[in-house]
Amino acid sequence: MDSWILTLVIFWPLAGALLLLIPRRGDDVAVRNGALFVSVFGFVLTVAAVVQFNRETAGGVSADGFALAAHVPWIVSGDQESATVDIAYRVGVDAISIWLLALTALLSPLAVWSSFTAIRTRVREYYILLLLLQVGLLGVFCARDLLLFYVFFEFTLIPLFFLIGIWGGSERRRAANKFFIYTLAGSVLTFAGIIYVACFAYGATGGTLTLNLATLTELGQGGDIPANVQWWLFLAFAAGFAIKVPLFPFHTWLPLAHTEAPTAGSVILAGVLLKLGTYGFCRLSIPILPDASFELAPVVAVVAIIGIIYTALAAWVQKDVKKLVAYSSVSHLGFCMLGLFSLKVAGVSGGVLYMVNHGLSTGALFLVIGCIYERYHTRNIDEFGGLARKMPWLAFFLVFFTLSSIGLPGLNGFVGEFLVLLGAATSAGTRDGLAPGPLGYGYVIPAALGIILSAVYMLWMCQRVLFGPLKEPPDTPDTSTGLTQDLTRREITILAPIALCCVVLGVYPAPVLNQFEVAIRQNILRSPASMMHTEIGPPDQGFFDVGVESSVSKQTLSTEFDAVVATGPGSRPALNDDPPSVSTVTTARLDGRNTPFETDASMATDSSATDVIGFNGGSGYER
């Protein structure tokens, strides 16, 4: 049964953008209010989608783990059953997508509203582009077809290119060019990867050229993609995503783009657009390419950690407040990557929560800096200081979001950060019922240095901006556009909901985390392949062979596994009484070995099994 709510959510801003063509030329007020109405209504629609999602998944998730799905054939040859090309408009969400969707929908009315006084030229075009940008972002999070994903993914570049290039600061053209070419260059490689995936799927599925993410995930998790293919695909995907995240050393476009972008552009850029990269890793690389993800995870983690420290140090010496926050963004997203590539429930849910948290706190920080810039027309930290005295509200919000950003317990940032570190530290364990991951405690130590450094540069910034004797550039603050010295009621209303979300997510994140956990187990990490790879090492393990060769023993194992699952997660023995020793480990092993038979009985053939062990490509998809 198709659900249309997601389609409505995605394309409503497009319809709204068309509505903005109606007002007379020069009627900026109508355009502004119209844009605000459109984005607020978009938020309402998203809330409806969230509600419906929760209702649909209340009694357990649907078979493929996605809800609110819709499917419209797009590029098809042949009829439905025996199509040779099956590329479709497929949308659907799981808990990860729906919360990122909600983040996008929350930030965009705030971004629109925050531009009311800042944007004075080409008002109509500005809001239309902002709404179009939203279409792309919302689309990425909903797409269930790789081509659709890519189309939305790339589409986001165009509106942002113009937003930076037209309404940006003094170096806007260079920034827009650099941003566009940098990210495009990466995603071209991603596109090459996508084409390869399509061809590969053609062989593996027996003659259907499909980019259906469900099918691809199934292939990847079933161990049907040989290791060398996975490697190349991983690198191809990573080229686009790593630049988007951005992962060190591909981050140099971001500080420039952030500094030059108008406030709303920065908010959306930091708040949502960067998440496309991490989301791509999380949605595509990890589930579809489990073996390569497992093997390359240490590399990704090391690069992420270098990035955390490198960019944190770079942030510390910035004079431009906005650039400082931009560098902090890079540093923070390193944590996110570290969590995702711990390949553990804790780490991945921490990473996903980190995306949401970072969107909230960094987005809000850019809003606050925008408020300062509008009044003082400079972002140079040396030119103002001691603003707390005249702007108590601004001081409150800046300190608040700083604290959220540096991971003060009780606010949202901490939960994500802690889970990320926890996931990385316990990655080699099996306590969450999954195969051992690739990372370990050693990765946490340097990463935790980043936590000290984030406090260093953020508090340094706060001290310079807010505290000390009052210092203002001459002829400021500029209140000509109807601003007041301290934040206006509008600005407070923009920032307050974000602050509220920060508190709620910090104090009671458990409901969201529970949803994440379901989605992660079902859609991201159900792969046993990485497990088999490590567990088995040299392919001579007796117990594995038993499982493959004898259908009887396979049956037994499966049954055992079922039993474990049935009694398992709900009622594992309490730790304080009975430390789960061997039994848990055994559970995990069974889990690892049998899930392929569980998930897809037809794949449980010798070929797939040997394939996984030996990585002798080919045989997996030539069946």
Partner 1 sequence: MSVETLTICGIVILLAPLAGAVLSGVLGPRLLRGSTHWLAIGGVGLAFITSLVLMGQVRGAPPDGISETVSVYNWITNGTDAVFRVEFLIDPLTAVMLITVTGVSLLVVMYSRDYMREHGKPERGYERFFAFLALFVFSMCALVLGGNFLLLYLGWEAVGLCSYLLIGFYYDRPAAAAAAKKAFLVNRVGDFGFGLGILLIFLTFGTIEYGAVFHMVQEGVTGSGDPLATGRVTTIALLLLCGACGKSAQLPLHVWLPDAMEGPSPVSALIHAATMVTAGIYMIARCGAIFTASPFAMTVVAVIGAVTALFAATIAITQTDMKRILAYSTVSQLGYMVLGVGVYAADSAIFHLFTHASFKALLFLAAGSVMHAMGGIIDVRQFGGLRKVLPWTFATFLAGSLALAGFPLFSGFFSKDEIIHHALMVHPILGVVGLVTALLTAFYTFRMVFLAFFGRQRVPEGVHPHESGPWMLVPLVVLSIGAIGAGYVGIGADGGVFHRFLTPVFAHTFAAHSPASAGAHGVPVVEHVGFWAHYGLMIISGAIAFVGIFAAYVLYLKEDWLPGLIRSIAPRAHRILWNKYYVDELYDAGLVEPARQTGRVCVGLDDYLIDGLLWLITAIPRAVGYLARTYQSGMLQGYALTMVVGIAIIVLLVFGA
**Interface with partner 1 (CB under 8 A), residue from 188, 418, 541, 607:** 418
Piece of the chain touching partner 1 by CB under 8 A; list 134-142, 158-166, 359-367, 424-432: 424-432
**563 touches partner 1 (CB under 8 A):** no
**602 touches partner 1 (CB under 8 A):** no
* CA dihedral sign, ordered 447, 288, 4, 133: positive
Binding mask 242-271 for partner 1 (x = CB under 8 A): -------x-xx--x----------------
Task: Give the side-chain half-sphere CA count within 13 A for 476.
Answer: 19
The beta-strand segments (E) located in 266-318 are: none
Binding mask 343-372 for partner 1 (x = CB under 8 A): -xxx--x-----------------------
Question: Longest Cα pair distance anywhere in the chain, in angstroms?
Answer: 85
**469 touches partner 1 (CB under 8 A):** yes
- Smallest distance from the beta carbon of 65 to partner 1, in angstroms? 16
**419 touches partner 1 (CB under 8 A):** yes
What region does 222 belong to: left with phi over 0, alpha with psi -120 to 50, or beta?
alpha
* CA nearest neighbour of 219 among 241, 240, 242, 198: 198
Contact positions with partner 1 (CB under 8 A) in 312-331:
313-318
Binding-residue total with partner 1 (CB under 8 A)? 76
- Smallest distance from the beta carbon of 392 to partner 1, in angstroms? 8
Piece of the chain touching partner 1 by CB under 8 A; list 62-70, 104-112, 136-144, 342-350: 342-350
Cα 391 to Cα 119, 383, 386, 597, 599: the distances in Å are: 23, 16, 9, 63, 59
Nearer to partner 1, 481 or 586 (CB): 586
List the strands of the sheet with 209-210, edge to edge: 67-77, 85-93, 209-210
Nearer to partner 1, 409 or 537 (CB): 409
**339 touches partner 1 (CB under 8 A):** no
Q: Measure the CA–CA gap between 623 and 611, rounded to whole angstroms.
A: 12
Q: Which residues contact 63 (CB under 8 A, 6 or more apart)?
A: none
Piece of the chain touching partner 1 by CB under 8 A; list 22-30, 52-60, 220-228, 420-428: 420-428
Tokens 């394939």 sit on residue: 611
**470 touches partner 1 (CB under 8 A):** yes
Looking at 58-171, list the stretches that DSSP marks H as alpha helix, in order from N- to C-terminal side. 95-114, 123-142, 146-155, 157-167
The number of residues making up the chain comes to: 623
Q: How far is CA 498 from the centre of its chain?
A: 18
Nearer to partner 1, 17 or 297 (CB): 297
Contact positions with partner 1 (CB under 8 A) in 565-584:
569, 572, 574-576, 579-582, 584
**389 touches partner 1 (CB under 8 A):** yes
**What share of residues in the chain are helix, strand, coil (percent, to 5)?**
70, 5, 25
Angle CA 442–447–448, to nearest 5: 100
**Interface with partner 1 (CB under 8 A), residue from 26, 78, 207, 410:** 410
- Smallest distance from the beta carbon of 415 to partner 1, in angstroms? 6
**382 touches partner 1 (CB under 8 A):** no
DSSP state of 249: T
Q: How far is CA 359 from the centre of its chain?
A: 10
**605 touches partner 1 (CB under 8 A):** no
Contact positions with partner 1 (CB under 8 A) in 142-171:
none
- Smallest distance from the beta carbon of 576 to partner 1, in angstroms? 3
- Smallest distance from the beta carbon of 574 to partner 1, in angstroms? 8
Q: Measure the CA–CA gap between 572 and 44, rounded to whole angstroms.
A: 40
**422 touches partner 1 (CB under 8 A):** yes
Q: Which residues contact 488 (CB under 8 A, 6 or more apart)?
A: 482
Contact in structure between 616 and 234 (CB atoms under 8 Å): no
**492 touches partner 1 (CB under 8 A):** no
**523 touches partner 1 (CB under 8 A):** no
DSSP state of 409: B
**CA end-to-end distance (rounded Å), the chain:** 32
- Smallest distance from the beta carbon of 439 to partner 1, in angstroms? 12
Contact positions with partner 1 (CB under 8 A) in 431-460:
431-434, 441, 444-445, 448-449, 451-452, 455-456, 459-460
- Smallest distance from the beta carbon of 395 to partner 1, in angstroms? 8
Q: Measure the CA–CA gap between 411 and 480, rounded to whole angstroms.
A: 36
**496 touches partner 1 (CB under 8 A):** no
- Smallest distance from the beta carbon of 214 to partner 1, in angstroms? 23
Contact positions with partner 1 (CB under 8 A) in 180-199:
181-182
Contact in structure between 276 and 153 (CB atoms under 8 Å): yes
Contact positions with partner 1 (CB under 8 A) in 497-516:
507-510, 513-514
Q: How far is CA 420 from the centre of its chain?
A: 14
